[in-house]
Amino acid sequence: MSNTAVRARDTGRVGVLLAGMGSISTTLIAGVEAVKLGLGRPFGSLTQMAMMADPEQPGRHVPMAELLQLPTLDQVVFGGWDISEGTCYTAAKRAAVLQPHLLEAVRAPLESIVPMPGIHDTRFLRRAEGKRIKPLQNKWEQAEALRADIRAFRVENRLEQVVVLWCGSTEVFLTPGPAHQATGIFEAAMKENEPTIAPSMVYAYAALKERCAFVNATPTLTVDLPVMKELAAANGAPICGKDLKTGQTLLKTILAPGIKQRMLGLAGWFSMNILGNQDGAVLDDPAAFRSKEESKLSVLNDILEPALYPELYGQLSHQVKINYYPPRGDNKESWDTIDLVGWLGYEMQIKVNFLCRDSILAAPLLLDLALLSSAAQRAGWHGTQDWLAFYFKSPQVSQGRPEHDLSVQFQQLQAALRTLAQRVPQTAGVRG
C-alpha cells in the first residue's frame, strides 16, 4: 500500500447538508449509495475518477482522492432541509431522474434521510407553498434555529467537518444592497426582518457562523456578498458559487474560447432550452429566470472581450431562452445556433443540439464541490475559492473578473489541487 493510501484513512467523517433536497440533491445522495453498492460508477466526478501525478514518484499517477486524502464515500454523511414534505426517497421518486429499480435498491438509506424543516419566503420563491417550514418569521431567529440544526447534525453523526450546499429553487433576482455590506449591519437587518435578505442568505449566514464551508449551486447571490466574504474569513470557511456549469453553458465555455483563439467573428449566439422538471417550473417565473439569465449571459462577454475586439464581437447578439416543457422531465434539450463570421466577412453557422440530463450532470459536481471544499478548509483555506470556477456558470471571485474558459479553469484547478496535495500531509500530521 502506498503512503498516500495510508494517509487517506486518517480522514474523518464529513457531513454534507443540502439546503433544498430536490432533483440534484437526491440524485447525488442516491448516486453515492448506488456507487457504494457497486450499482454504478461515479462518471463526471473528478474526485472519484481523476488521476494525479504522484509528486513523490515521477511518472506514477495516483487517484486524486488518495493524494488529497479525501474521505471515502462511506465517510460522507448526508442531511439537509427542504420545505416540501416527504423523505429523501419520496423526493427522489418525485424528481424521476433515476430508474425505479435503482431507487428501490437504495430505498433504505434514502428513506432514513428526512429533511429538516426549512425556512421560506414567498417573495423570493413565488411558485412554492412551503409545507415543511420552521414556525419562525424572524430572520435572526431562523438563523439561530438553522445553527442549532447544524450543531446537532455535527454531534449526532460525530463529524469532523460539515459542508453546506445551497441547492434550493432559484430565488428571484436581487442585487447587493446596503444590508449585505458587513456582519453587524446584516445581523441587525435580520433582526428587523429586512426584505432584501433572502432565505438562501440566512442558510449561508448560519453555515458560516458554524464554521462550515458553503457552496452555492444556484444562480442566486447568496454568498457572493461582502458580508459573507467577511463571515467566511472570520470563521475560517471556504465559500464558492454561483450556478453549476452543467449543460449548455459547459459547451459554450468549451466552444467560445476556440472560436476566439482562431480570431473568428461572432454575429450571434442563440441558445434555446426545454426542460420539464421542478427547476424548469420555477424558472418559468420571469423574476426567477432573471437570476438564471444573468448567470448564463455573463459567460460570452467575459470570454470574448468585445471591448478589446470590437470588430469581431462588438455586435454580438447573445440570447438565452428557457422553456418549461413538462413532457421532458429532467431530460433537458438545448439548441445553440452560432452565427460565425470568417475571412472577408463570409458567414457560417454551427448548430449544437445537446440532449442532456440535468441532474445527472449536476450530481457529480455537487460531490466534488463538497469534498474539495472540505479539503480546502482542512488545509486552512478560507474565503472565496476562485480555483473552483471550473464548476460554475458564473464563478464567484475574490476580486476582478471571473475566468470562464473551461480549459483555463481546469489549469487553475489542477494548480490548486497540486498545492492542496502538498499541504494535506501537514494537516493530517497536525490532526495526529
Ligand X SMILES: NC(=O)c1ccc[n+]([C@@H]2O[C@H](COP(=O)([O-])OP(=O)(O)OC[C@H]3O[C@@H](n4cnc5c(N)ncnc54)[C@H](O)[C@@H]3O)[C@@H](O)[C@H]2O)c1
User: What is the total count of residues that contact ligand X (CB under 6 A)?
Assistant: 35
The yes or no reply on residue 202 touching ligand X (CB under 6 A) is no
Instruction: Work out which of 31, 109, 168, 383 binds ligand X, going by CB under 6 A.
Output: 168
Shortest separation between residue 317's beta carbon and ligand X, angstroms: 24
Residue 71 DSSP class: P
- Residue that is written with C-alpha cell 418569521 in the block: 137
- Contact characters 124-143, ligand X, x per CB under 6 A: -x--x---------------
Site string for ligand X, 320-359 (x = CB under 6 A): --------------------------------------xx
Angle at 371 between CA 354 and CA 55, to 5 degrees: 100
Give residues with Cβ within 8 angstroms of 279, minimum separation 6.
22, 23, 169, 170, 358
Q: Which stretch binds ligand X (CB under 6 A): 137-145, 153-161, 275-283, 345-353?
A: 275-283
Cell output for 403: 475566468
Beta-carbon count within 10 A of 321 CB: 14
Q: Is residue 20 near ligand X by the rule CB under 6 A?
A: yes
Is the link from the previous residue into 242 a cis peptide, with omega within 30 of 0? yes
Asked if 81 is part of the footprint of ligand X (rule: CB under 6 A), the reply reads yes
Stretch that binds ligand X, among 64-72, 207-215, 239-247, 378-386 (CB under 6 A): 239-247
Number of H helices, E strands in the chain: 17, 13
Which residues in the 390-409 window bind ligand X by CB under 6 A? none
Q: Where do the DSSP E strands lie in 254-398?
A: 265-275, 317-324, 333-341, 347-355, 383-384
* Residue placing its CB nearer to ligand X in the complex, 13 or 132: 132
Say whether residue 24 binds ligand X (CB under 6 A): yes
Q: At its nearest, how many Å lie between ligand X and the CB of residue 364?
A: 11
Q: How far apart are CA 369 and CA 388, in angstroms?
A: 8
Residue with cell 449566439: 269
In the complex, minimum distance from the CB of residue 167 to ligand X, in angstroms, rounded to a whole number: 5
Least Cα distance to 32 among 106, 118, 95, 121 occurs for 106
Which parts of 72-198 fold into alpha helices (H)?
Answer: 88-95, 100-105, 107-111, 139-156, 183-191
Distance CA 138, CA 188 (A): 12
- 82 binds ligand X, rule: CB under 6 A: yes
| Binding of residue 199 to ligand X (CB under 6 A) | yes
As a whole number of angstroms, the distance between CA 350 and CA 269 comes to 10
Strands (E), 130-241: 161-166, 213-216, 238-240
Q: Which stretch binds ligand X (CB under 6 A): 14-22, 31-39, 145-153, 154-162?
A: 14-22
- In the complex with ligand X, which residue's Cβ is closer, 10 or 285? 285
Identify which of residues 169 and 334 has a Cβ nearer to ligand X in the complex. Answer: 169
How many angstroms separate the CA atoms of 283 and 203, rounded?
21
**CB-nearer residue toward ligand X: 70 or 362:** 362
**Virtual torsion, Cα 274, 276, 278, 280, nearest 10 deg:** 20
Contact pick of 246, 271, 377, 385 for ligand X (by CB under 6 A): 246
Stretch that binds ligand X, among 81-89, 151-159, 307-315, 371-379 (CB under 6 A): 81-89
Does 278 participate in binding ligand X (rule CB under 6 A)? yes
Closer residue to ligand X in complex, CB, 28/420: 28
- Smallest gap from residue 91 Cβ to ligand X (A): 6
CA triple 14-368-398, angle to 5 deg: 100
Binding characters for ligand X, 83-122, by CB under 6 A (x = yes): xx----------x----------------------xxx--
217 touching ligand X, by CB under 6 A: yes
Name the residue nearer to ligand X (CB basis): 83 or 256.
83
Shortest distance, position 140 Cβ to ligand X, whole Å:
16
Give the integer Cα–Cα distance in Å for 303 and 314.
Answer: 13
The reply on whether position 388 binds ligand X by CB under 6 A is no
Residues lying near ligand X in the complex (CB under 6 A): 19-25, 81-84, 95, 118-120, 125, 128, 167-170, 199, 217-218, 243-244, 246, 277-279, 282, 358-359, 361-362
